[in-house]
A = this chain, B = another copy of it.
Amino acid sequence: MTTIAKGANVVTLINVFTVAPDNQYKLATLLIEATERTMRHLPGFVSANIHQSFDGTKVINYAQWKTREDFQAMQQNPQAKPHLQAAAALASFEPILCEVVDAISTTE
């Protein structure tokens, strides 16, 4: 289970992929396999949370890494690159590196 909290010691990467609806399931599966095989074993990995939009045109990865440097090291990692390239062949994407400024929930 993934948690979102203010002041947690993570950086958040929100990556919005725009995809042809015929490729949505394929891209989501690719991201899940990339996470299971490679990303989760890299230093600083905290979580990856793969979402599919109901309209078929987006896949979103809400990911957490311990530090910005861990995320940047993953981008240069030779084991990660083929996964990143396979995703780029299926979709355009816009990675946003960010921090939580507030988390308001009914369970707090």
> Which chain A residues have a beta carbon within 8 Å of chain B's beta carbons?
1-5, 12, 14, 16, 28, 32, 35-36, 40, 45-55, 58, 60, 62, 64, 68, 96-108
Contacts and interface: CB of A to CB of B under 8 A. Distances in A.
Contact of A54 (B53, B62, B98, B103): B98
B1 A98 contact: no
B5 A98 contact: no
A90 to B, nearest CB: 15
Contacts of A2: 3-5, 103, 105, 107
A11 to B, nearest CB: 8
Contacts of A47: 4, 103-107
Contacts of A103: 1-2, 47-50
A30 to B, nearest CB: 12
Contact of A53 (B53, B60, B64, B97): B97
